[in-house]
Structure 1
Amino acid sequence: MARRTTTPPLDEDFEERIVDIDVSTEMRTSFLEYAYSVIYQRALPDARDGLKPVQRRILYSMSEMGLRPDRGHVKSSRVVGDVMGKLHPHGDSAIYDALVRMAQPFSMRLPLVDGHGNFGSPDDLPAAMRYTEARLAPAAMLMVQSIDEDTVDFKPNYDGQETEPTVLPSAFPNLLVNGAAGIAVGMATNMAPHNLIEVISAARHLIAHPNATLDDLMRFVPGPDLPTGGSIMGLAGVRDAYETGRGTFRMRARTTIEQVTPRRKGIVVTELPFNVGPERVVTKIKELVTSKRLLGIADLKDLTDRHKGLRLVIEIKNGFNPEAVLAELYRLTPMEETFGINNVALVDGQPRTLGLRELLQVYVDHRINVVRRRSLHRRRKREDRLHLVDGLIVALLNIDEVIQVIRSSEDSAEARTRLMQVFELSEIQAAYILDTPLRRLTRYDKLELDRERDVLREEIAELTAILSSEDRLRKVVSGELQDVAKTYGTPRRTVLLEADAVPAAGGIPLEVADDPCLVLLSSTGLLARTSDASPLGGGEERSSHDVLVSVVRSTVRGEVGVVTSAGRLIRVSVIDLPALPPSSSPPSLSGGHPVSEYVTLPAGEAVVGLGSLDPSGPGLVLGTAQGMVKRVVPDYPVNRDEFEVIGLKSEDVVVGAVELTSEDHDLVFIATDTQLLRFPASSVRPQGRPAGGMAGIRLGDGARVVWFGVVDPAQEARVVTVAGSAGALPGTGAGGIKISDYTEFPAKGRATGGVRAQRFLKGEDQLILAWAGPSPAKAVSSTGKPVPLPAELGRRDGSGTPLPHPLAAVGGALGATLIPAPGLDIPPIPPMAEDDGD
C-alpha cells in the first residue's frame, strides 16, 4: 500500500509534486527512529556514570547553578526550568520525577539530591515542584568532580546554543551503588542497588588484579544492599545475575515476634522489601482478612514516624501460631516480593546486558580515562604557569633593562617585540610581563616566584610519572576510590540468606493445638500456663520459684475460673495466659502476667484461687472466713463471663477456693486461734451456686479462718503455721514458724472445733499465715523471693521458731495458700452453731 503526498502550490508557476511512499517502510523507519530516541535519550543509563540523560542534565545544571551542599536550597521549579530551557527538550514532569527520585533515600542507596520538603514516600507522591526545594547532596559532588578539567567530552545541546557533558566523571560506581530502572522500546533495565564499600572494594580488586574472576569479585560483593533493608532469600539468582546480567531473587520484610499487649503476641515489621510501602501492605492485609483468606490477625497498626522509622504492628489472635501467620503473610502479601535483575546499559553507545565483572570493568576503564585526562589537563596548566613564572623571573633579574626597553618603545606592541628579542622570551611571556603591575616586581616576589617554580616542577614531574606508568595511574584511581569509601560508606542494610538457611514454615500449624496444660496462680498474683500437663517437680530445683496458690488442669484452648474473695467466679481464656517453658527445665513464674491484667476487681476484693469449668468434675470447694464450707455443683452458665458461686453472709469472705479432685481427700480449716480441723470431703454434699454452704469449723470467740484447702491424706504432707501479733502492722512482725507432720492432726467431724496447731509465745496472739499440703513446704517474701524454712518438725501443739524476716506467703509445689487481701479488714467472728447452714 502506498501513500500519496501532495504539496500544495505556493504560486501559479509551482507545479504539483506527488511522492509515492510505501507505508510499511515509512512505519518501520519512523518506529526505529522513535525507538532509537527512547533507548539513547531517555530510558537506559550509561554504564560509565550510571545516569540517564535527564539525570545527568539535572546534576550538571545544578552544579553550574552553584547549588552545592554548602549553599542554600532553591525551589525545585527553578532547577526544572533551567534544565528544560537549556538541556532537556521534554516535559517538566519527567525532569521533576527524576529529580525527586534522586532525593529519595528509600529509592537511592546513596542519594544525589538533598531535598527539602515533601519528596514523597513509597506510597505517596511528592508535593508539586513549587513547594519543594533542592540542592546537590555531598555524593553528587563526586559525580561532577573535575568536570571542568577536560575529563569528559561535551556536545552541543538540542538547539546548539549550549554544551552538555556526554558523561559525568563519576568518582564512584553509581550504576551499581544506586541501581537503575527504565523501560525502552523492546528492552528494559532493572538494576539493584549495592553497598558502596563493597562495590568499591571489588573495583579496587579488579584494578589491582585485571584477570580477577567472578568468584573473586563476589567475595567483596556478595549481593545487593537495598535502601530499605530487609532480607534477600536465596543467592542462586543473584549469582546468575552477576554472571549473565539476568536473574531473580526474593526480598522479605524484616520482622520480629514480640509481646505487643499483655495478652497477645504480634508481628512487628521494621523493614519492607525494596519499592514496597507500608500502605500497600496494610491494604493487602485488610483485603485478605475481610475475604477470610488470612486468619489469625486481630488488629493492625501503622506506627511509622520520621523518628523511629517503619513500624507495622500486626496483633495475632490467641490460639494462632505467630510463625505460621507470618509465613502466610510472606506468601500472600507484598511482605515478600521478587526482584528481577536485568542489567541493560549503554556501552559505547550500544545497549548491552552486563554481568558484575563487565559492569565493574566498564567503570574502571572510564575512571582510569578520567584520571588520565585530568592529569594531562593539570600538567598542561602547570606547564603554562611555569612558562609564565620563568618569564617573570627573567624580568626580575633584569628589571632595569626591562624598564629601559619598555620606556624606549613607541607602543605596547613594540615593547612586546623588543622584550622577546632582547631576553629571548615567548610572546605569551612578554605579554604577561607587560600586564604585571610594577609593585609585584620586588625582591620578595622573586622569592615567591622561586618557590612557586619549584612546586610547579615537582607537580609536573609527579603528573608525568602518573601518565607514563599505567600501574601508577591505577594506584591513583584505587586510592581515590578508597577515600570515597571511607567518607561516604555505610554499613550493609540488607541481610543475605541462602535458600537452605530459611526455615520451612509449611510444617507449622496455623492454630495452636488444644494440648493439655496446667494453669498456675502464684502468691504474688501472677498467672501463667505450662506448655504441657506433666506434674511440676518439687524439691530444691523449685526453690527459686514463686509459691503457687492454685494449680488447675486445663487445655490450651479451654477456660478456667478465677475465684475472688467476694464469692465470684470470672472466666479467663487459657490461651491468653503466657506459656512457661516445658517442665523438663524448671519453669520460672516470673514469666507470668499479673492477674489484674485479666480481671478487674473493686477495692477490697482479691483473687483467692482457680477452678476448673469442666462440668464433669467434682467441682470447687470453698471455705470462708466465718468457717463455712461449700462444694459447688459444676453447672456453670455458658453464656456469662462472671457469676456468683456462693451466697455469702454479711461481712463474710472467701479465704480459699480449691479444685477438688477426689472425695477421699481431706478438707482442712486453720483458724487464727491455732485450731486446725480436717474432715473428709465426702461429708460435704454439693450445692447449687446460690447456696451459702454449710458449717465447716466451729470458731472460738473473735477467731476467723486464716486458711482453707484440700489435702491428700495418702501423701506425705506438712502443716505450716506462722504466729504473730494482731496489733503489728502488716509486714513488720516476723513472728514464729512451726512445721508439723500432717498425720499428727487427727481427723474429726465437720462443724467441730478441731485441735490446736501451735502454742503462742510472748508477743504472739494469733496465726497470721498457715498452709497444709504435700512436702516440701515453701515460703516467699513480699517480692516473691524464697525464704528458708526450718528443717526439723515441731510437735503438734508446740511453739514456733522465730523468723528473721516477715513472710508474705507459704505453700508448696502443688499446694495452695491464702493471700490476704491488701487492706481487707475482717472483724472478729462470733461462735457459730453446729448446723448445716442450708
Structure 2
Amino acid sequence: MLTEEEKNAGLVGRIIPINIEEQMKSAYIDYSMSVIVSRALPDVRDGLKPVHRRILYDMSAELNLYSDKPTRKSARIVGDVLGKFHPHGDSSVYDAMVRLAQEWSMRYPLVDGQGNFGSMDGDSPAAMRYTEARMKKITDEVMADIDKETVDWTLNFDDTIPEPTVLPTKIPLLIVNGASGIAVGMATNMAPHNLSEVVDACCAYVDNPEITGEELLHYVKGPDFPTGGIIYGYEGVREAMLTGRGRVVMRARTEIEHTPSGRECIVITEIPYMINKAEMIKKIADMINDKKIEGISYINDESDRNGLRIIIILKHDAVASVVLNTLFKNTPLQTSFAVNNIALVNGRPQLLTMRDLIRHFIDHRHDVVVRRTRFDKRKAEERLHIVLGLLVAQDNIDEIVHIIRSSKTPDEAKQTMMERFELDDIQASAIIEMRLRALTGLEHGKLVAERDELMKLIAHLTEVLENVSMQMQIIKDELIEMKEKYGDERRSEIVYASEEFNPEDFYADDDMVITISHMGYIKRTPLAEYRTQN
C-alpha cells in the first residue's frame, strides 16, 4: 500500500504492474537476438561477425595497415578498435585478430601477424604489446571499393564515427574460410573450402542461375581444411553441401616407415582440423600407458618449422595396419566435423545449402558492382562538368582575365562570369582557382583529351548500368582474377569409399591352426607356434 505522502507525491498512476513471466520472456528474447545478430553468427554476404568486420575496417580505413605498409603493434590496433567500434573486453578483439592470422585456423588468413601468434599445440599467443600486425594481400580485396558508396553504413556505439554494416569483399569469405559460433538456442559450424573450386562454382552459377546443388558438386568437391588431412567417405560431405547439415569424417595423413633397426613406425604428417596436437599426443601416450592400445613402444613429436611430423614406433611383433586402425577408432587421429551452415540473411538466421551460400554472395557482389558503377559515373559527370567550364575559360581567356582584374572580390568576378558565359557556381569557382600554367597550349590539349576520355567512360558506365549481363560479366571477371591471384591446390584429400570398422580390422592377418578334441573343445593356435610344439 502507498503511504499518504507517496500518494500526494503523485506516484499513483506511474507504477505499472507487469507480469514477471512476460518480462523475463521479452528480456531473454532481446538478449538472445542481440547475441545472434551482433556477436555469434556471421553475415552471409561477407562471412564476417561484427568483431572481425570492425578489426578489418579499422586496420584499413583508420590505421592504413594495408599489406604494403609496415606492421603496427597489436595493442595499438586493439585499442583503436575498442575505442571506436567495439566496446567490449580487449581479449575479445585480440583473440579474434589472432585467429585471423593463424594459418592452421584459417584456410586463407586475413591478418599478417609478426611475432608469436600461438601454435597448433594450443599455446597462447604472446601478449598484444609484443606482437605486430597488418592486413594480408588478400584482405586488400576484401576492402576494395569500400570508399565508393558500395555498402550501407551505420554509426558506431556513441554515434561519432560511421562504420560499414558489411564489407564489399571480392572473395566469398564465408565459404572459403568457414565460421563457427555459439549463439543462444542455435550454433553455426561451417567448413572451409578451396578458393579455386568455389570461384568455379560461382562462375557456373552466374552462367546458369538455375544450376542445381547436385551440379555444383562437380565444382566444389568438398571441404578443404587448412591442416590438410584426409576426408574419409563422401556421403556426409554430400549431405552437408546439399542440405546445410552433415557429418564430415576427417583422418590424419599417415605413412608406414621402417626405423634403421628394422622396426615398423607410423609417421603422421597432417592431423584433422581444429585438433590440438599436444593434447592428441598426450591422449595416445596415456592410452599406451593404460594398456588400452597394444603394440606401441613409444611416440615422439618431431614437428619443426618445416612441418608437422609425429612418429609412433611399434613393438617388434606389432602389425602396423592393426595398430593404425586401433588409433583411428580410439583417438582424435580420426574425428568428425559436424557441418551446420547457419548464417544471417537480412539479419535473420537461416540454414543454408552450398547453392544458397553462392547465390547470396553473387547477389551481394551484384549490388556492390551496381553501386560502384553509379558512384564512378557520378564522379565522372562532376569532373566533365568542371572540364567543360575550364575549356570555356581557355577559349575566352582575355575576357576572363579582364573580368577578374576589374572585379573587387572573387564572388563578384564569379557572378560576372556566370552571367557572361552561362556557367554555374561550381564551374566559375574552378576557373577562379585555375593556375596560370593552365593557359599553355599543352594544358589545353590535356583538357580536350580528358573531356573525350570522360565522355567515353560515362557512355560505358551508362551501358553497364542498363545491361544486367554486362554487370554479371564484371562479377565473373573479378572472381576469375581472384582465383588467378590467390587460388591454390587442395590440401585435404577426399577418399570416396569408406567403410565402418569391422572386428577383423583389429586382428593381424596370420595363419592359424584350429584343433577340435573328441570332447568338443576348440583351440586356435598360430601356425608358427603349432610347428614349434610339433
> Shorter-chain TM-score category?
over 0.9
1:432-443 aligned within 5 A: 432-443=430-441
Say if 2:54 and 2:81, in contact at 8 Å, map to a contact too: yes
1:388-787 mapped onto 2 (5 Å cutoff): 388-500=386-498, 506-508=503-505, 510-511=507-508, 513=510
Instruction: Give the distance between the partners of 1:407 and 1:63, measured in 2 at CA.
Output: 47
1:202 equivalenced with 2:201 (yes/no): yes
- Structure 2 distance, partners of 1:334, 1:375, is 51
Which residue is equivalent to 1:359? Answer: 357
After superposition, what is the alpha-carbon deviation per residue over 1:653-681, rounded to whole angstroms, capped at 9, x for unaligned? xxxxxxxxxxxxxxxxxxxxxxxxxxxxx
Task: Give SS of 2:204's match.
Answer: helix
Whether contact under 8 Å (1:319, 1:512) holds in the other structure is no
Deviation string for 1:265-288 (max 9, x for gaps)? 111000000001221221111111
Check conservation: 2:325, 2:506, Cα contact below 8 A: no
Question: How far apart, in 1, do the equivalents of 2:236 and 2:505 lie?
Answer: 27
Q: Secondary structure of 1:24's match?
A: helix
Distance 1:19 1:261, change over 3 A: farther
| Aligned equivalents of 1:555, 1:100: Cα separation in 2 | 59
Give 4+ residue runs of structure 1 displaced > 2 Å after superposition. 12-21, 260-263, 502-516, 554-558
Q: Does 1:124 align with 2:130?
A: no
In the TM superposition, residue 436 of structure 1 has moved relative to its aligned partner by: 1.2
Give the root-mean-square deviation of aligned CA atoms: 2.3
- 1: CA distance between counterparts of 2:18 and 2:132? 51
1:293-316 per-residue CA deviation (whole Å, 9 max, x = no partner) reads 100101111000112x11000111
Q: 1:32: which partner in 2?
A: 29
Q: What's the secondary structure of 1:102's corresponding residue?
A: helix
Contact 1:514 1:557 (8 Å CA) reproduced: no
* SS at structure 1 position matched to 2:18: strand
Cα deviation, residue 262, structure 1: 2.3
How far the C-alpha of 1:152 sits from its partner, in A, is 0.3
Q: Deviations over 1:773-806 (max 9, x none)?
A: xxxxxxxxxxxxxxxxxxxxxxxxxxxxxxxxxx
Name the SS for the 1:432 alignment partner: helix
Confirm or deny: 8 A CA contact 1:321 1:509 kept in the other structure.
no
Q: Which moved more, 1:408-417 or 1:384-393?
A: 408-417
How far does residue 408 in structure 1 lie from its aligned partner after superposition? 2.1
Q: 1:143 to 1:5 in 2, by over 3 A?
A: farther
Deviating more after overlay: 120-129 vs 261-270: 120-129
Partner of 1:99: 97
The CA deviation at 1:410 is 2.5
Structure 2: runs of 5+ lacking an equivalent: 514-525
Cα pair distance change 1:435/1:471, threshold 3 Å: same
CA distance in 2: counterparts of 1:291 and 1:392, whole angstroms? 88
Aligned partner of 1:43 among 36, 40, 56: 40
Q: Provide Cα deviations, 1:370-402, integer angstroms capped at 9, x if missing partner.
A: 011011101111111111111111111111111
Please state which structure has a larger fraction of its residues in strand: 1
Counterpart secondary structure, 1:20: coil
SS in 2 for 1:182: strand
One-letter identity of the residue aligned with 1:116: Q
> Could you tell me which residue of structure 1 aligns to residue 109 of structure 2?
111
SS of residue in 1 equivalent to 2:504? coil
Letter in 2 for 1:233: Y
> Which letter does structure 2 place at the counterpart of 1:159?
D
- Post-superposition shift, 1:68? 1.0
Q: Secondary structure at the match of 1:305?
A: coil
CA contact (8 A) 1:323 1:505 kept: no
Whether contact under 8 Å (1:265, 1:315) holds in the other structure is yes
- Paired residues, number: 517
CA deviations 1:326-383 (Å, max 9, x no partner) are 0011000000111111100001111111001000000000001101101110111111
Q: Counterparts of 2:260 and 2:276 in 1: how far apart (Å)?
A: 25
Quick one: which amino acid aligns to residue 203 of structure 1?
C
| Deviation (angstroms), 1:5 | 12
1:447, distance to aligned residue in structure 2 (A): 0.8
Please give the alpha-carbon distance, in whole angstroms, between the structure 1 residues aligned to 2:529 and 2:158. 77
Name the CA distance, whole Å, in 2 between partners of 1:339 and 1:129.
Answer: 31
Alpha-carbon offset, residue 514 of structure 1:
7.4
**Whole-Å separation in 2 of the counterparts to 1:384 and 1:556:** 94
Equivalent residue number for residue 293 of structure 2 = 294
Question: 1:93: Cα distance to partner?
Answer: 0.9
Question: Which amino acid counterpart does residue 497 of structure 1 have in structure 2?
Answer: V
1:557 Cα deviation after fit? 8.2
Amino acid paired to 1:267 = I
Structure 2 counterpart SS, 1:338: strand
For residues 254 and 93 of structure 2, the distance between their equivalents in structure 1, rounded to whole angstroms, comes to: 37
1:499 alignment partner, SS class = coil
Distance 1:5 1:448, change over 3 A: farther
CA deviations 1:549-608 (Å, max 9, x no partner) are xxxxx98789xxxxxxxxxxxxxxxxxxxxxxxxxxxxxxxxxxxxxxxxxxxxxxxxxx
Structure-2 residue corresponding to 1:190? 189
TM-superposed deviation, 1:19:
3.5
Q: 1:148 to 1:37 in 2, by over 3 A?
A: same
CA distance in 1 between counterparts of 2:290 and 2:435 reads: 88
Does the 8 Å contact 1:235/1:499 carry over to 2? Answer: yes
Cα deviation code 1:504-545 (max 9, x no counterpart): 6643454474789xxxxxxxxxxxxxxxxxxxxxxxxxxxxx
Match of 2:164 in 1: 165
The alpha carbon displacement at 1:101 in A equals 0.8
Amino acid at match of 1:438: L
- Output the amino acid matched with 1:51: L
Specify the alignment match of 1:66 in structure 2: 64
Structure 1 position 497, deviation (Å):
1.4
- Does the aligned pair in 2 maintain the 1:372–1:473 contact within 8 Å? yes
Residue number in structure 2 paired with 1:280? 279
Per the alignment, residue 248 of structure 2 pairs with: 249
Which structure features the higher share of helix residues?
2
Q: Cα gap change, 1:397/1:5 in structure 2, threshold over 3 Å: closer, same or farther?
A: farther
Stretches of structure 1 that go unaligned for 5 or more consecutive residues are 517-553, 559-613, 617-838
TM-score by length of 2: 0.93
User: What is the CA–CA distance in structure 1 between the aligned matches of 2:486 and 2:2, rounded to whole Å?
Assistant: 60
Equivalent position of 1:344 in the other structure: 342
What is the match of residue 520 of structure 2? none
What amino acid maps onto 2:449 in structure 1?
R
Q: What is the TM-score with the length of structure 1 in the denominator?
A: 0.60
Aligned to 2:267: 268
Is residue 320–residue 510 contact of structure 1 (8 Å, CA) maintained in 2?
Answer: no
**Aligned-pair CA distance for 1:241:** 1.5
CA contact (8 A) 1:5 1:20 kept: no
DSSP-derived class of the 1:273 partner:
coil
The alignment partner of 2:268 has SS state of strand
Which runs of structure 2 are paired with 1:297-376 in the superposition (5 Å)?
Answer: 297-307=296-306, 309-376=307-374
Q: For the Cα contact (< 8 Å) 1:231–1:497, is it kept in 2?
A: yes
SS at match of 1:392: helix
Question: How many Å apart are 1:409 and its aligned residue?
Answer: 2.0
Residues 109 and 509 of structure 1, relative CA distance in 2, 3 Å threshold: closer
Q: Distance in 1 between matches of 2:11 and 2:173?
A: 59
DSSP 3-state at the match of 1:295 = coil
